[in-house]
Structure 1
């Protein structure tokens, strides 16, 4: 479970996030939506431990800042960062050792094959395209077998085959009981994935909705209906 409690973040005099609270239960996919400047990136970076903030963030009942929580938390950033001098293979091996991950060699090989990296294992980080870097970032996050995983605009830069695989991966994570949060503006890409939706604007959650509450309504219809109503 991922639990956000009264999260507040200021950049000097600017209030970027204003007492935001929401929960994504185990075995569900939460979607964080909102226009540019709504505060999504600030929330994502706060959850990932990249920003100082006021309020609380819980991962499986533990404080997000604790070492125990970090061991079961996976993060795929919007802009992947690679080590220039490490190969694709070495990136995942580095994560395996850093987290003392239980993933087997066979499971790692299957990840590389699934994301079409098996013929690029010896390429260095500075030799990879944006899409390839994104795939490596996804594999690194999955290698720790997270209980909670956060994806920030994960489909930007991916080819259609990789997008298909990532969607299937997210559903498999959900079905295995993992908590998933996806921050995105690509509504079409997540329309079949979400269980609970959180819509942000001007630093606040302006609406939250479960798939059951949405019934058969399309995610774009829901999102634009909420944001246009809020604008009025």
Structure 2
């Protein structure tokens, strides 16, 4: 089932076109990577999808509803590269604050499940300001999952994390996929993208220049079965190398 549709999306800053008429669809129960060189338009794309940035043209549908619709917004979550956490609240207080903001009822059971799933139960009474970046990222994810969205957008989630935290985060994304959620990840870490993502979308200069599974990309670019995602990425974005 298609859970996210982006149709002819355009975002301009004055005369500069950050996103140039892009269209794509995401289906449920998949992890999709959004990759591209710096300045390709990845973060801008995520923010336009969520409505944090107003696009100049095009439309975004979540579960067949316009992103401006309240029901559509309830089915999406955005986790930025730098988690927006209230440091003077404990982990549990932070979740309670989010529940109040969303006017959620009987949220405690789901919150407990999230703390268990993300290995945060022993941190529930810790102030968020005292957590490591990996733990802070987990709190951000739990906060964004508390209202049970179908589509989770994540911007550069693994930057600055140690190998253990990266492994735990990847396992968490895989669990979300198994639950039927759709995870859309912007990342520069191509090895992780190859091992984690079912499909990737490659952007360059505001345009989509390739998309599909690794096998599909190998076929599209007449590449052998041993060619990696990094090899393909460098080939299709060749003029970006300097």
TM-score, length-normalised on structure 1?
Answer: 0.88
Is the 1:134–1:158 Cα contact (8 Å) retained in structure 2? no
- Cα distance in 2 between the residues matched to 1:158 and 1:225: 28
- Tell me, yes or no, if structure 1 residue 167 matches structure 2 residue 177: no
- Cα distance in 2 between the residues matched to 1:124 and 1:203: 40
- Cα distance in 2 between the residues matched to 1:162 and 1:115: 11
Distance 1:7-1:103 versus aligned 2 partners, 3 A rule: farther
- Tell me, yes or no, if structure 1 residue 119 matches structure 2 residue 122: yes
Matches within 5 A, 1:1-232: 1-53=3-55, 54-101=57-104, 105-214=108-217, 216=225, 217-228=227-238
SS in 1 for 2:152: strand
- How far off its partner does 1:66 sit? 1.4
Is the 1:108–1:143 Cα contact (8 Å) retained in structure 2? yes
Is the 2:4–2:60 Cα contact (8 Å) retained in structure 1? yes
- How far off its partner does 1:101 sit? 4.8
- How far off its partner does 1:167 sit? 1.4
The Cα offsets for residues 92-129 of structure 1, whole Å up to 9 and x where unpaired, read as 12223333557864542343244343333233344444
SS in 2 for 1:36: coil
Structure 1 residues not aligned, in runs of 5+: none
- Cα distance in 2 between the residues matched to 1:178 and 1:209: 18
SS in 2 for 1:191: helix
- Cα distance in 2 between the residues matched to 1:84 and 1:27: 33
- Cα distance in 1 between the residues matched to 2:207 and 2:200: 14
Distance 1:86-1:105 versus aligned 2 partners, 3 A rule: same
Is the 2:194–2:214 Cα contact (8 Å) retained in structure 1? no
Greater mean alpha carbon deviation, residues 56-65 or residues 120-129: 120-129
Is the 2:107–2:146 Cα contact (8 Å) retained in structure 1? no
- How far off its partner does 1:87 sit? 2.1
Greater mean alpha carbon deviation, residues 118-127 or residues 51-60: 118-127
- Cα distance in 1 between the residues matched to 2:125 and 2:137: 16
Output the aligned Cα RMSD: 2.3
The Cα offsets for residues 132-167 of structure 1, whole Å up to 9 and x where unpaired, read as 321211111222222111111111233333322221
- Cα distance in 1 between the residues matched to 2:113 and 2:42: 32
Is the 1:32–1:198 Cα contact (8 Å) retained in structure 2? yes
- How far off its partner does 1:214 sit? 4.0
